[in-house]
Amino acid sequence: MRAEARMGLSSCHIRTRHYAEVSPTGSLLGVKTIGARQCVVPTAKRGSVHEFTRRSRARMLRRFAVIRRTALSSSLLVTLTYPRSFPVESSIYKRHFHTFSERLRRTFPTSSAIWKLEFQTRGAPHFHLIVMGVPFIARGWLSRAWYQIVGSKDERHLRAGTQVQRCRAARKALAYAAKYVAKVSTSAPNAHTGRFWGVIGRRNLPVDYLPWTLDTRGHAGLTRVIRHLACSRSRLSTRRRFNAQWVFCVGSRGVVLVAWAAGLPYDALPAFQSVAALPSDDLENNQRGKANVVKEIHELSV
């Protein structure tokens, strides 16, 4: 009786709904189910964050997947480091970074960024940022801003405390995010408490996300495709069962797969007609039009 009271209003009558998730100009292809576990009473409580887990890494990479590839191809890769003497308390370096993020938003009002906190071998914290919506950041402004915020009074920190470089391709930005930014590190000190990644300027983040309703058969077919893609890209043994719910996929190809899973003619999907003529990001010199996309859907249905 007490368990039922804690659960409150029952939602067991809610019908299970299946969705496909795709980013037409990004890199997301996934599936989602709503209403399957509504009767489960939550028992765990969210506590303090002390480590960067694999689930947190997956959420961070999924955030990168819904960003437009054109925005990633012109993004800036920024690194902020500390000098020889660095703060140990998490409240201090978190305050430093918060001040820097506020200065960045004031100087560049249209900017947005995804940041990641990482710890070096010596135990010093440093931050990786992928900044979007900014055509250029002067190295001098970046160095002075971080130097003044930290207040180290070390000239070597002013010269070598920051790095900034432009990303020339979306593939490079995603590879940088997967290899360096989203790296699961075990060198975090025990005294650290707080998030390891986040978003600056969430309203300006160039996100492209499109959900589409699927039936049970279409959801199962698209789920198998996603799991096969995840299995083919893994270096582990193929005997392992993959329960991936999303993968990185070029937007135009993801649209083709979602249309195939929906089981509808391409002309009957007005939501996808505007993205059908989008060129493939991997074939910049060979743009694919609507006729090629319809041909691919027909081949998949056969």
**Contact at 8 Å (CB) between 240 and 172?**
no
Residue 66 confidence (pLDDT) = 94
Residue 16 confidence (pLDDT) = 82
Q: Tens digits of per-residue pLDDT, 246-262?
A: 999 998 889 989 989 98
User: Which neighbouring-strand residues pair with 115?
Assistant: 129, 198
- Cα–Cα distance measured from residue 302 to residue 298, given in angstroms and rounded to the nearest whole number: 6
Over residues 287-302, the mean pLDDT reads 43
Residue 274 confidence (pLDDT) = 40
Q: Tens digits of per-residue pLDDT, 88-133?
A: 888 899 999 999 999 999 999 999 999 999 888 888 899 999 999 9
Domain 67-204 CATH (choose: 1.10.10.10, 3.40.50.720, 3.30.70.1910, 3.90.1720.10): 3.30.70.1910
| In the chain, where the domains are located | 2-46+216-301, 67-204
- Cα–Cα distance measured from residue 133 to residue 196, given in angstroms and rounded to the nearest whole number: 23
Q: Tens digits of per-residue pLDDT, 154-176?
A: 889 998 889 999 988 888 888 88
Question: And the tokens for 137?
Answer: 């950041």
